[in-house]
Amino acid sequence: MFDEVWSLLGDTGVGFHCRTLCQNIPPGTGARIVTSTSRILPAMGRFCLRDSDTRIDITAMERPRHVVVSSFEMQEGEQRLDTLARLIAPMLSQKKTIIFTNRLDEAGAVQESLSARFPGCAIGLLAKSIGTHNREILLDAFQGGQYHAVVTCRLFYAGVDLNSEIQCVVFYTPPPTITTPSRVASG
């Protein structure tokens, strides 16, 4: 099943970075990938955190060669940030979560919100304002376990090395062109 998903990643325009992400997950490491930008409609549907949707589908891709799909229900009146906090809370102790947003200002807002919600957790912000040198320092500190999570804009993830044991990758904002969620069957 993993090979099937891997093939779909290359053929559906999901993009170079998602493919690189999957290729860089170390063999034998279970890694959760939650994506709102997926265009893998035939096999896996779309996974997103949206205010207007009441159901959030999550895919957990683990090696060797299987995919586990589950659902995450938004509570009535719950905002996307609340759902994100609920989703990643159990994973923060593993110190290997990356959250991507579409816009830099949104990344800052997500980082501030999560830092306020989880005061005992170090949540970093990878942004242009920190500079190239500090970016490397932050990424090294993250991979060394000094940060529980890193939030960044999708523009900045091209150079993010995902060779460490990443437990959770969240693409927080769905693209505006996708409007209809798909149902996903367990594989």
pTM: 0.56
- Could you tell me if 58 and 47 are in contact, meaning their C-beta atoms sit under 8 angstroms apart? yes
User: Residue 105, SS3?
Assistant: helix
Show the tokens assigned to 139: 């990424």
- CATH tag, 2-171: 3.40.50.300
Per DSSP bridges, beta strands 55-62 and 66-73 are antiparallel
B/e letters for 138-152, b = 16+ CB within 10 Å, e = fewer, are bbeebbeeebbbbbb
The pair of three-digit structure tokens given for residue 23, joined into one six-digit string: 């290729």
Residue 9: count of CB within 10 angstroms of its CB: 22
Per-residue pLDDT of the chain (187 residues; tens, 9 = 90+): 344 444 444 444 444 445 555 555 555 544 444 443 333 333 333 333 333 444 444 444 333 333 444 455 667 777 778 888 888 888 787 767 888 787 778 888 899 999 999 998 999 888 777 766 777 888 888 888 888 888 887 666 665 665 556 777 777 765 444 333 444 444 4
What are the extents of the domains in the chain?
A: 2-171
